Structure 1
Amino acid sequence: MPLTLASLAQHSALRLAVLAGNPERLGAEVRWVHTSELDDPGPYLEGGELLLTTGLKLDGGDPVALRGYVRRLAAAGVVGLGFGVGLGHDRVPPALVDAAAHEGLPLLEVPRATPFIAISKAVSAAIAADQYKAVTAGFEAQRELTRAALAPDGTTALLTRLAAHLDGWAALYDASGAVLAAAPEWAGRRAARLAGEIDRLRDTPAPTSAALAGPAGTEDRVEVQSLGTGRRPRGFLAVGTEERLDTSARYVVHAAVALLTLSLEQSRTLQEAQARLAAALLRMLLAGEPGHARSVAGRLYGTLFDHPLRLMIAEPAQAGADAEAVTVLGERAEAAAVRSGEPMLTVRDGPRLLLLAAEDALALATAADLAEASDGLAAGLSASVDPAGVPEAHRQAERALAVALRRGRPLVEHGEVGAGSVLPLLADEAVRAFSEGLLRPLREHDATSRGDLIASLAAWLSHHGQWDAAAADLGVHRHTLRYRMRRVEEILGRSLDDPDVRMELWLALKAGG
């Protein structure tokens, strides 16, 4: 318990008398003792001190001067004034008592028999005892937290003990800013409302800490500590309390940070091994070996291969762009899988991310929602397939991803590719170049000779080679149209009887606008 003026005044060996000061001000913490006979000792103080003086330079009969002196002390953050009598003054000047009472500054009378050094020793001993108590309590709390961390549900147990020690709440976030666990139970929603604040700390190199305003409608003081030893935080610990954390509470928080960081770093090796296993399983599935994949996966992926599956492929929307958005997508999808208890294969392939999960998995829906809302990535999602159909799902996801990249969309599902039109796919520079090269001889003919071969070809193709309908549409005789089509064949050196030629010409006309 911090040393206060009230407890110091009650120290029987010091025999201090309180001349001014209400109970609230006497409850102020004494952080140190300083002796000064200066008229303005403020520049030499930090705040929180009990100032001792004999008043050698004070004019006890000048109320104005004494009031100014007291005001300067209060402005410097002095918590109380101890006035020693018997040297410069036989008693504390009444004007000083009045000035202290007026400013609300506690004033203690120090008898001649009590040396200032005795007060300094008493304060120093009390501060040392308080610090020792805080350290001792911190070590005991660390032992409790360590025992909690070793429990079957170690993270939740640790957060529960931490919240109890702080008389507040505690929450653990993953690297993406999603809440993994919170204690007590009611703190989950409160912690989730800070996800945006946590997200802003993700790009700050670890270790980092920040003090945040509590969620709206609360009076919480929230402090956040990053977790992990690398440049990129692997998670965050947030604690919320009504009062500012004291020394003992900070020992407890630092112990929790150390234990959680150790847990995360120890799990990194396991996560890397699981990532390698996931990549191997996906390679087996893509090679058409679902039986081997099921055998290798064992119980690690539960019933993943017992249900229809969907595959998502995501990559940066711009070639060579930072893959941060893809990383965040993977982290949040994995966090959703952990929370829902759903198995999911997550495979990182360079800047790409591949997710394979049950068709109705919450984690896959979360990933799709995140991809849809993202500005920095493009993703393709396959239709549902059984495990033996994963190679086809991969082709579907690749095609859907290609459409997403071409159209500048964050997410395209395979069903949209089949249901949509092929014409938007022609807006590719290579297709435009092919169109221009194929139709250039016809355009050059139209620019220098009579007859509109481009328009005639378009009308003839649009009417499926029906001469009368196409000629009527152009407003020419059908013999004229026949002549023009022969000229098209002569100029291009290709037969319009070939359906492939007709298809290429039609697509070239559409791509050329």
Structure 2
Amino acid sequence: MTRLAWSEVPRPQMDRFADVALAESSALAHEILRAIRQEFPELRLVEGESGEPKALVGIRRAIEGFVHHLASGAGAADPRVPSEVFQEFGRGEGLNGRSLDSLQAVYRLGVRLAWRRFAEIGQQVDIAAPAMYELAESGFKYLDGLVEQSVRGYAEAAARQEGERLRLQRRLIDRLLSGPHPDPAQALGERAARIGWELPATVAVGLLIRPAREAVAPALGRGILLDMESEQPRLVIPDPDTAGRVDHVRHATAGWSGAIGPTVPLASAVASLRWAETAVTLTEEGLLPHGEVQHCTDRMEELLLLPSRDLVDAAAARCLTPLNGVAPAQARRLADTLLAWIETSGGAPEVAHRLGIHPQTARYRLRQIRELWGDALDDPDRRFELLLVLRSKRLRATPPTDAVHPGSTVRAARS
């Protein structure tokens, strides 16, 4: 095994190197701090309990720790970094909104100045060049360790800040959806300002259904409020009619199920939420498709008719009475034909085209329908009622004859 050059340095020389370096550690730390402040005048210095700048304390500890490691006989490899001090520096950068790039530049400058002085001390005590080369390499490893500890502190601060921001964001969403708010600026302004959210004129509120318990949050961006802590994650889209915003949300929520309510004034955000809740309920019941986030305005028919099932069934029992005596299969065909006739407002050719049947078949069915309903078909209100009932039945894919009274006699009918 190759012996390291630093380990070959005679002990008296190693001790003299350590004694000189430790004796000068305070002066060297001040010199490095002056150079740093000159090179980085924007750097903010914070004083510790002793009244000294924390940066000065950190530089001195870094020098002393490095020298003690060398003098301990452990050699020049893998010097131990004073972790807490440099984690705190990283946390400070994170909490003050700065990047780690400037901090790394500061560290590089400090290591370069320290190495320059260590090289002079090495010459003074006659340490061989190969050992000093190892010392230089060890200094760069030390730099890597300083950066690593600062990155940990920075990440911790960033996580803490993000956690606080998400907490404030949830409180804003709670307040927004507790409305309506006659004066949104007064009700929401302070909470919005704390997370840097500019109050929009309009919003759309969405609810998501988790594809899995630990699903990763959609990457919606900071402009869109997202609360992943709720059982059904909530999102608030500001000014949703802005060009490209709908596409952005669609891409970000790919693979999720859920619904986005209609665009409403900010003061009425809770109204958008109610429609989203209705759509999510229908999705969970299998009445709207899974695997995509529905836009409520694209599902008006389902949202208006499907939640009113009890009312529609009660109306069906009355307005579909003429089908009570018709065989179930024939009743379904007549109901489909009646709906096509109401929807097209046309005659047999239009109905036949819509249903994909022969015009003569359509004429025969229309005559039967006229015989069953009579003059009621000429009443616009009755036609509208029939339209609602039959469309609701079609959406639920259930035969309209489920409103037929039990025990009714079956009237023979031709197809």
TM-score, structure 2 normalization? 0.49
More helix per residue: 1 or 2? Answer: 2
Higher relative contact order (CA 8 A, sep 6+): 2
More strand per residue: 1 or 2? Answer: 1
